[in-house]
């Protein structure tokens, strides 16, 4: 908590630009937030036993599906038991201090929301980098779900690259390319003879027309 102490400003000014100023309120460890007893409504409607059993069974299945798999050789997923020794004095003072602030109506989220430094839209990326948090991380087994196991084509850069390749392929497919045909030697000779015969026939027709005149 000491590394984040300078990020909180308890001043009453909404537009305070200093994030290092912190107004320390008197510690009142004796003040505890009051807990209102829950009021049970009278005259509740009777719920059929079958419906209750159905809800309990559904809740049991849901908890079983969401429960993490046990770790072999590790009890209770490595969560230690509740400590029996007394709490550290400095930590107890900090907890008592924040409880007193809460009892007096101070809310940390409200102070952060009114702090000008936290209105910077880039503060989120800075906080993630400062705390070194994996935003897409998961506590699940990578064999069951690995958020970093997706192919590169699933992300925005890969999608844009795929769209570019498809657009280029479509453009090449739609364009008409004229290719000059190449005749073989035999085809060239046949074509030359046909053109020569056509020229002779045209010459004879022309000579016959002139003779009739």
Q: What is the pLDDT of residues 62-106, one digit of tens each?
A: 888 888 888 888 888 888 888 888 889 999 999 999 999 999 998
What is the distance between the alpha carbons of residues 3 and 7, in angstroms, rounded to a whole number? 8
Do residues 171 and 138 share a domain? yes
Do residues 139 and 168 share a domain? yes
Task: Please tell me the predicted confidence (pLDDT) of residue 104.
Answer: 92
Q: pLDDT confidence of 161, banded at 50, 70, 90?
A: very high
Q: pLDDT confidence of 34, banded at 50, 70, 90?
A: very low
What is the distance between the alpha carbons of residues 82 and 88, in angstroms, rounded to a whole number? 15
* 92 within some domain: yes
- What the block records as the tokens of 173 is 């497919």
Query: How far apart, in Å, are the Cα atoms of 129 and each of 4, 113, 121, 126, 192?
Result: 14, 20, 14, 5, 80
What is the distance between the alpha carbons of residues 209 and 117, in angstroms, rounded to a whole number? 104
Range(s) of the domain holding residue 157: 134-175
Q: What is the pLDDT of residues 119-138, one digit of tens each?
A: 777 788 888 888 888 888 88
Q: What is the pLDDT of residues 167-201, one digit of tens each?
A: 998 888 766 665 556 667 777 777 788 888 888 88
Matching residue, tokens 């000008």: 116
SS3 content of the chain, % helix, strand, coil (to 5): 55, 0, 45
DSSP state of 175: S
Q: Which residues, including other chains, have CB under 8 Å from residue 136's CB and lie 6 or more apart?
A: 147, 148
> What's the domain count of the chain?
2
- Tell which wins on pLDDT, 17 or 69: 69
Q: Is the pLDDT of residue 207 over 60?
A: yes
What is the distance between the alpha carbons of residues 104 and 6, in angstroms, rounded to a whole number? 21
Q: pLDDT confidence of 160, banded at 50, 70, 90?
A: very high
pTM of the model: 0.28
* 198 within some domain: no
* 160 within some domain: yes
Do residues 139 and 170 share a domain? yes
* 37 within some domain: no
* 194 within some domain: no
């Amino acid at each position: 908590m000491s590394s984040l102490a300078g990020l909180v400003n308890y001043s009453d000014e909404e537009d305070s630009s200093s994030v290092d100023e912190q107004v320390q309120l008197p510690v009142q460890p004796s003040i505890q937030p009051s807990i209102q007893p829950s009021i049970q409504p009278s005259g509740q409607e009777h719920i059929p036993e079958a419906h209750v059993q159905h809800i309990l069974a559904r809740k049991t299945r849901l908890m079983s599906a969401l429960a993490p798999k046990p770790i072999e050789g590790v009890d209770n997923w490595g969560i230690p038991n509740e400590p029996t020794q007394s709490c550290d004095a400095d930590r107890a003072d900090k907890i008592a201090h924040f409880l007193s602030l809460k009892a007096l109506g101070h809310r940390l989220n409200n102070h952060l929301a009114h702090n000008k430094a936290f209105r910077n839209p880039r503060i989120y990326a800075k906080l993630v980098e400062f705390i070194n948090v994996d935003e897409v991380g998961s506590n699940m087994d990578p064999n069951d779900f690995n958020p970093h196991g997706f192919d590169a084509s699933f992300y925005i850069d890969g999608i844009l690259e795929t769209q570019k390749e498809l657009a280029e392929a479509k453009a090449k497919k739609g364009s008409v390319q004229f290719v000059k045909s190449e005749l073989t030697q035999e085809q060239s000779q046949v074509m030359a003879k046909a053109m020569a015969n056509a020229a002779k026939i045209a010459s004879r027709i022309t000579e016959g027309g002139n003779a009739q005149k």
